[in-house]
Amino acid sequence: MARMAGDLLKAFQSQAGSSRKLGSPFTAEICELLAEHLDDSSRFGRRILGWPGDPFADALALRAAAGFHALKRAGKSTRLAAAYPPNPVDRAALTEAVIDAIGSHDDFLHDWLDSPPQTNEVARSSVLIGSALLLASEFGLPLDWHEIGASMGLNLGFDRYRYEFGSDRWGAADSPVLIHSEWRGVNPDTTAPVELRSRAGCDLNPLDPGLPADRERLLAYVWADQTERLARASAALDVAAAAPWRVEKADAAAWVARHFSAPPRPGAARVLAHTIVWQYLPETTRQAIMQTMQDAGERATPEAPVAWLRMEADGRDTAGVRLRVWPGGTDLEIARADFHGRFVEWQTR
């Protein structure tokens, strides 16, 4: 009977290690027990063992783990519910519950693997508001905000949340979403006025925060033992559901070209932002976006500047936060950040 080996096994073991570092020992256990016990006796198992793509780039372990969380959240497996947080976690009972779920819900778990993870991690908005404050201070202009890989649009509403930067505060006191990131380094200038003249987002598979099924899909990707993240995501979903914007279904390269190849509109800075998206894009898409942004930058003026904000993996234990601005094309690393926004190491004011 075939079991995991080679790069596939390494992908699940690597995700287990990453999950522990990011504060989710439970997700680590799910990845480890799948690595140990999954075989080709089910459609779910055969699909994973025969995965045609790169299991690392496709975040296959996270796809698999989220399927079980979705079953638990939907109340479709009493054994999973008993083995999942907030109940005490027993490895043997969890293993039995996962094996039982594969046997009882094979088709569901098989089909769940179709789409990549869409965590839309709300705490990453701490990086966005810090960067928006920096841009507002530098340009003295409103912002036309654009986000690729926007999923449900939760981070498109970053200016509607409350933030704590140590002793500093920013945002509406009555916002249901509070983001507290440990802020290392000089705090952003919270006095700079942040005004979004417009905002828009795209995704290959956008989810609608107003639809219960889409809402549940996103929450299934939030790790089951991280109750604060789950509560924050739920609150952000409520804000997004009530907001007037929705994420557009579109290819990222074509969408960026449409928004940034247009003549500049004086009176605001055009911003392209993305957080933990770049790794999922094909190389041809990346190259097209880079060319579009370079061309847009060459047309930028002081009255219509352009900025490109990226919070992305770069081979280190934290995400690099880089900001490129035009006119000029200056490209700087302005911060390092935890992938889930637990802390930000700010490198500029």
Q: What percent of the chain has pLDDT over 90?
A: 89
pLDDT one-digit tens code per residue, 119-162: 789 999 999 999 999 999 999 999 999 999 999 999 999 999 99
CA distances from 68 to 13, 109, 280 (A): 18, 7, 23
Q: What is the pLDDT of residue 47?
A: 98
Q: Report whether pLDDT(348) > 80.
A: no
Length of the chain (residues): 349
Of 123, 188, 186, residue with least CA distance to 338: 123
Give residue 191's Cα distance to chain centre: 28
pLDDT-derived band at 345, boundaries 50, 70, 90: very high
**Is the CB of residue 132 less than 8 Å from the CB of residue 197?**
no
Q: What is the pLDDT of residue 69?
A: 98
Q: What is the pLDDT of residue 191?
A: 87
pLDDT one-digit tens code per residue, 234-253: 999 999 999 999 999 999 99
CA distances from 348 to 51, 141, 334 (A): 43, 19, 6
Q: What is the pLDDT of residue 349?
A: 59
Q: What percent of the chain has pLDDT over 70?
A: 100
Q: What is the pLDDT of residue 304?
A: 97
Q: What is the pLDDT of residue 10?
A: 98
How far apart (Å, rounded) are the C-alpha atoms in residues 84 and 243?
Answer: 33
Q: Which of these ranges, 170-174, 270-274, 303-307, has the smallest mean pLDDT?
A: 170-174
Q: What is the pLDDT of residue 237?
A: 97
pLDDT one-digit tens code per residue, 314-331: 999 999 999 999 999 999
Q: Report whether pLDDT(186) > 90.
A: no
Of 248, 220, 247, 249, residue with least CA distance to 233: 220
Of 186, 175, 82, 91, residue with least CA distance to 133: 186
pLDDT one-digit tens code per residue, 75-125: 999 999 999 999 998 999 999 999 999 999 999 999 999 988 887 899 999
Q: Report whether pLDDT(166) > 90.
A: no
